[in-house]
Amino acid sequence: MLIYLLKVSFIWLVLLLIFESGFKKSRNFRLNRIYIFISILAGLLIPIVNISMLPSDVAIPEQRIAQAYTKTIETITPGNTAAFNASWDWGKILLGLYIAGACIAFLFTIREIILILKKAIYGNYEITLEHKIFSSKKQHAPFSFMGWIFISDLQYYSENELQYILQHEDAHNRYYHWIDMIGIQVIFILFWFHPFVWWFRHILKMNHEFEADSVAASDNPYEYGHFLIQQTLLKGTPVIAHSFHFSPIKNRITMLTQKRKSSTWKYALVLPVLCCFTVLFAKSTPGNQRIKEGDVSTFKGHKFYWKTTKPDSVVQKAIEMGFAQFNPQTYIYRMDNDSVYQHYQLSINPQFRSGNKGFSEYITEQLKEKYKGIIDTVTIARIHVSNVVINEKGKIVYYELTYMSQSDHSKAITSNTVLDPIVDQIIEESPAWLPGVYNGKEVMSYMDDGGEFVLGSIRFKVVAFPVKKN
pLDDT at 340: 94
Pairwise CA distance, residues 33 & 199, whole Å: 14
Q: Could you tell me how many residues make up the chain? A: 470
pLDDT at 288: 63
- In contact, 126 and 186? CB cutoff 8 Å: no
pLDDT at 60: 35
**Closest Cα partner for 134 from 115, 155, 153, 114?**
153
Identify which has the larger pLDDT, 65 or 29.
29
Identify which has the larger pLDDT, 320 or 381.
320
Q: What percent of the chain has pLDDT over 70?
A: 78
Those residues with Cβ within 8 angstroms of residue 240's Cβ, 6 or more apart along the chain or in another chain: 109, 112, 113, 116, 145, 181, 182, 185
What is the enclosing helix (H) or strand (E) of 434?
Answer: strand 433-434
For residue 301, the SS3 value is coil
Q: Quote the crossing angle between the two packed helices 419-429 and 359-370, to the nearest 10°.
A: 120
Pairwise CA distance, residues 132 & 406, whole Å: 85
Q: How many helices (H) and strands (E) does the chain have?
A: 14, 21
- Band of residue 41 on the pLDDT scale cut at 50, 70, 90: very high
Helices within 193-298 (DSSP H only): 195-216, 221-231, 249-256, 270-281
Supply φ then ψ for residue 442, to 5 degrees.
-70, 130
Pairwise CA distance, residues 433 & 272, whole Å: 46
- In contact, 407 and 352? CB cutoff 8 Å: no
pLDDT at 230: 75
Task: Say yes or no to pLDDT of 286 above 70.
Answer: no
Identify which has the larger pLDDT, 235 or 322.
322
| Assessment of whether the complete model's pTM goes beyond 0.95 | no
Other C-beta atoms closer than 10 Å to the C-beta of 423 total: 22
Pairwise CA distance, residues 390 & 433, whole Å: 8
Q: Is the dihedral of CA 162, 168, 172, 174 positive or negative?
A: positive
Q: Quote the crossing angle between the two packed helices 177-190 and 195-216, to the nearest 10°.
A: 170
What is the enclosing helix (H) or strand (E) of 402?
Answer: strand 396-405
- In contact, 296 and 303? CB cutoff 8 Å: yes
**Closest Cα partner for 135 from 117, 154, 121?**
154
Across the strands, what pairs with 298? 291, 303
CA distances from 422 to 22, 288, 364, 375, 428 (A): 51, 11, 12, 10, 10
- Give the full edge-to-edge strand order of the sheet including 291-293: 291-293, 296-299, 302-308, 330-335, 338-339
pLDDT at 74: 40
pLDDT at 457: 37
Q: What percent of the chain has pLDDT over 90?
A: 27
Identity at 276, one-letter amino acid code: C
**Closest Cα partner for 254 from 318, 191, 296, 209?**
209
Task: Say yes or no to pLDDT of 371 above 50.
Answer: yes
Stretch 248-273: mean pLDDT, rounded? Answer: 77
Across the strands, what pairs with 334? 305, 339
Supply φ then ψ for residue 448, to 5 degrees.
-75, -20
Stretch 131-140: mean pLDDT, rounded? Answer: 80
Stretch 157-174: mean pLDDT, rounded? Answer: 86
